[in-house]
Amino acid sequence: MPELPEVEVVRSGLIPAVTGATVWRVEVLDERSLRRHPGPSEDFVDRLTGVSLVAPSRRGKYLWVPFADAEEALVVHLGMSGQVLLRDVDAPVAKLTRIVMWMDQPAHGPVRVDFVDQRIFGSMAIDRLVPTSDVAGERIPASVAHIARDPMDPHFDDRQFFDRLARRDTTIKRALLDQTLVSGIGNIYADEALWAARVHYDQPTRALSRPRARALLAEVREVLGKALAEGGTSFDAQYVNVNGASGYFAHSLNAYGRQGEPCPRCGRPIVREVFMNRGSHFCPTCQRVRVAGGARG
């Protein structure tokens, strides 16, 4: 599933194409991609046609494009395999395209935006914008308001995160994947940050010291920053940027997907264990559960 770096790469790629653009035509080819829209496809088309757009925004894995003259936004969730692609207006429409939007951009001319989704877990919807609770003047789609800020957000509150983490009766990887505590971190980047910080995925949050929590958050930011610089992580053709190019952070992974390979730090084999219907990848030598008085393997 696309995580923060992949969604941010898509957002950045859309900025020059959609900022200031006016939508003049919309076609819904598969209504299943409107499952989160509060109305039929005709409502989606009518409300989107003719609107002017401003710069796209993002929180965690959610992306939205606000309307210039309304209190609404086009909200995009990529799901497992969603792609937002920029196309020439007359280009053939690919087989797995679910929604097509034609726009006029003053600086670049006509452009087409295609929403392609092989597994149809992603979606588009029009949602109202509501004020955020912590930053004056900031607005966010109502359907995204429950999502916490992500560690790359300039308004992310480190102290609040540490305090809430210490009060959680859970384990650290479950906490990192809890989008109401911190957003944008999925399985890949959780495993990578935990490996970098030498923290076991099953470490109880209440037994995680403040210095180790601070070090882990720093590694989360470091991993996300590197992934952004490398265009995200692509293991197959399902994640691409707006121009159809793959990211190459997969070549920089130290733990995720490396089971059986030597740990880059100690040389012992990386292990994969089943976790929340997926897998956790870690080094059992470098990453041990810390308890009072020491560590256990």
pLDDT digits (tens, 9 = 90+) for 58-111: 998 899 999 998 899 999 999 888 889 999 999 999 999 999 999 999 988 999
The set of catalytic residues is 2-3, 61, 278
Please give the pLDDT value at position 291: 75
Is there a common fold for 4-144 and 158-296?
Answer: no
List the end-to-end C-alpha distance of the chain, in Å, as a whole number.
30
Contact (Cβ atoms closer than 8 angstroms) between residue 153 and residue 137: no
Angstrom distance (rounded) from CA 242 to CA 12: 9
CA-to-CA separations, 97 to 30, 115, 205, 288, in angstroms, rounded: 8, 6, 42, 45
Please give the pLDDT value at position 80: 82
- Low-confidence stretches of the chain (pLDDT < 70) are 1, 231-251, 292-297
What CATH number should be reported for the domain whose range is 158-296?
1.10.8.50
For residue 96, count other CB atoms closer than 10 A to its CB: 16
Please give the pLDDT value at position 248: 43
CATH H-level superfamily of 4-144: MutM-like, N-terminal (3.20.190.10)
Cα-Cα-Cα-Cα dihedral sign, residues 123, 127, 133, 137 = positive
Contact (Cβ atoms closer than 8 angstroms) between residue 10 and residue 228: no
> Domain boundaries in the chain?
4-144, 158-296
Please give the pLDDT value at position 288: 94
Please give the pLDDT value at position 239: 47
The β-bridge relationship of strands 123-131 and 72-77 is: antiparallel
Please give the pLDDT value at position 108: 87
Please give the pLDDT value at position 243: 58
Angstrom distance (rounded) from CA 62 to CA 128: 15
Helix (H) or strand (E) segment spanning residue 141: strand 139-141
Contact (Cβ atoms closer than 8 angstroms) between residue 283 and residue 260: no
Helix (H) or strand (E) segment spanning residue 173: helix 172-176
